[in-house]
């Protein structure tokens, strides 16, 4: 897959952008419902947290089709709009140039759609406070989440977003997510992962396959998209409450082709992510 400014761009990129926005925005609405339902409860922190581990440069690869903003920028903007007074965000990006572009693009996007809520930017890009959004150039594997998200008596709700370049490093990043969700079990996880990359990595190391890796992230329920493209990418949303249990805000998501991984269809997709075609054929007894 060709790389542009540190991110891979392929035929599935536009679908990814659309799905990531749809899931993140639905998640923001679900949390809004939860906050309203349990308002005033001592265990409820009514702040929405959005933690993007791979913020990128803020630009959509579909710019030529008129979509300028990356999904990251779109979901930060919508979260800040949905939660004007109770939002807390962290955007991390390793490449300084990318982060500068991300901030500029987010500023533009917010000014376009949120003129009523002017946002202030510090000219220093390394560590920047935008209201309650902290954008930082650095490696998420060494970022001090304990300091950024101190433990509180109340539970923190929100979403961790992870969209890595397919490399062995991701494995360490998944450990970062696991530590975060152990500490803050109400933070859900939205990620975009390549089954093919994981198969390659886990064959070369003793690391688990993609499904085992996701299971280590302390989420009880996983929704999964169809497999996208040759590299078998999929969008995953990990939650702690069963979608559809007491409210089903995810009907739109189902229409986008997502299934619970525990369903028959979900298990079939997971198998394709876990095993090579050859292994699948062998399991099905088609080869001796
Ligand atoms: C696949 S790109 C996705 C970017 C963005 N989500 C988008 O779609 O525009 C991954 C991004 O994460 C950044 N990145 C990779 N590893 C990182 C790390 N360990 N810490 C912080 N950023 C990282 C890369 O520089 C790159 O911009």
Residues touching ligand 1 (Cβ under 6 Å) are: 6-8, 54, 56, 70, 72, 92-95, 98, 139-141, 163-165, 173
- 227-238 pLDDT, tens digit each: 998 888 999 999
Q: Which two tokens stand for residue 180?
A: 């975060």
Provide the pLDDT for residue 238.
94
75 Cα–ligand 1 center, Å: 16
113 Cα–ligand 1 center, Å: 25
> Would you say the pTM of this structure is higher than 0.75?
yes
Provide the pLDDT for residue 240.
86
Provide the pLDDT for residue 6.
56
Please name the residue whose Cα sits nearest to atom 20 of ligand 1: 139
Provide the pLDDT for residue 126.
34
Provide the pLDDT for residue 247.
54
Provide the pLDDT for residue 65.
56
99 Cα–ligand 1 center, Å: 10
**CA dist., res. 141 & res. 53, Å (int):** 9
Please name the residue whose Cα sits nearest to atom 7 of ligand 1: 56
Provide the pLDDT for residue 128.
40
Provide the pLDDT for residue 285.
74
| Positions in the chain short of pLDDT 70 | 1-11, 62-67, 112-131, 203-208, 243-251, 286-288
Domains, in order of start, for the chain: 15-283 (3.40.50.150)
Please name the residue whose Cα sits nearest to atom 19 of ligand 1: 139
Question: Residue 171 contacts by C-beta under 8 Å, 6 or more apart in sequence?
Answer: 201, 205, 207, 213
**CA dist., res. 212 & res. 209, Å (int):** 5
């Amino acid at each position: 897959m060709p790389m542009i400014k540190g991110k891979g761009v392929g035929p599935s990129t536009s679908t990814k952008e659309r799905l990531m926005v749809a899931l993140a925005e639905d998640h923001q609405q679900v949390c809004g419902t939860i906050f309203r339902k349990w308002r005033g409860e001592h265990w409820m922190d009514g702040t929405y947290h959005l933690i993007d581990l791979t913020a990128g440069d803020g630009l959509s690869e579909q710019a030529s089709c008129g979509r300028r903003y990356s999904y990251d920028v779109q979901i930060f903007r919508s979260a800040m709009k949905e939660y004007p007074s109770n939002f807390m965000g962290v955007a991390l990006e390793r490449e300084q140039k990318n982060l500068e572009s991300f901030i500029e693009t987010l500023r533009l996007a917010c000014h376009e759609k949120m003129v009523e809520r002017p946002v202030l930017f510090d000219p220093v890009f390394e560590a920047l406070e935008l209201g309650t959004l902290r954008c930082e150039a650095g490696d998420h594997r060494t970022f001090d989440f304990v300091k950024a998200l101190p433990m509180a008596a109340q539970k923190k709700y929100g979403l961790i977003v992870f969209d890595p370049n397919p490399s062995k490093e991701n494995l360490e990043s998944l450990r970062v997510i696991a530590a975060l969700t152990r500490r803050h079990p109400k933070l859900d996880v939205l990620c975009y992962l390549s089954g093919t990359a994981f198969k390659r990595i886990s064959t070369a190391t003793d690391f688990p396959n993609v499904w085992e890796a996701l299971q280590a992230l302390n989420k009880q329920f996983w929704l999964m998209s169809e497999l996208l493209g040759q590299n078998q990418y999929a969008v995953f949303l990990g939650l702690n409450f069963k979608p559809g249990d007491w409210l089903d805000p995810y009907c739109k998501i189902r229409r986008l082709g997502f299934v619970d991984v525990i369903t028959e269809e979900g298990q079939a997709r997971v198998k394709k992510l876990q095993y090579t075609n050859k292994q699948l054929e062998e399991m099905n007894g088609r080869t001796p």
